[in-house]
Amino acid sequence: MLKKFLSGLFGSGEAKPGNAKAAEPVEYNGYQIVSEPAEQGGQFRVSGWIRKPGSDGETLEHRFERSDLVPGREACDQLMVSKAQRFIDQIGDDMFKSG
């Protein structure tokens, strides 16, 4: 029992959080927002992708990760889209710049 408690606090290295199946993309101002939350202890971490077709035909991608944990998948997807829309409005194409 003590081992289980300590591994829960410090991580045992055995169980890794998994990514849930990606949601259908949501179009927003020329971008695609794809929620792909990480499952952690029965909750979902807000994460996914923001994509935009590039002028050269390649798709630009930005991995979008937040610390928010949400108990339901649908609520997590909604929060992901909301936060990604705000991020797009604030940062725009600068999110694709490296460095």
Would you write out the chain's pLDDT as a tens digit for each of its 99 residues?
444 444 444 444 333 456 678 999 999 999 999 999 999 989 999 999 999 998 888 999 999 999 999 999 999 999 999 999 999 999 999 999 876
Put simply, whether the predicted model's pTM sits higher than 0.85 gets the answer no
Q: Report the Cα 56 to chain-centroid distance in Å.
A: 26
What is the sign of the dihedral through the CA atoms of 87, 93, 96 and 34?
positive
**Cβ contact 55:65 at 8 Å:** no
What is the sign of the dihedral through the CA atoms of 88, 54, 25 and 16?
negative
DSSP, collapsed to helix, strand or coil, labels residue 75 as helix
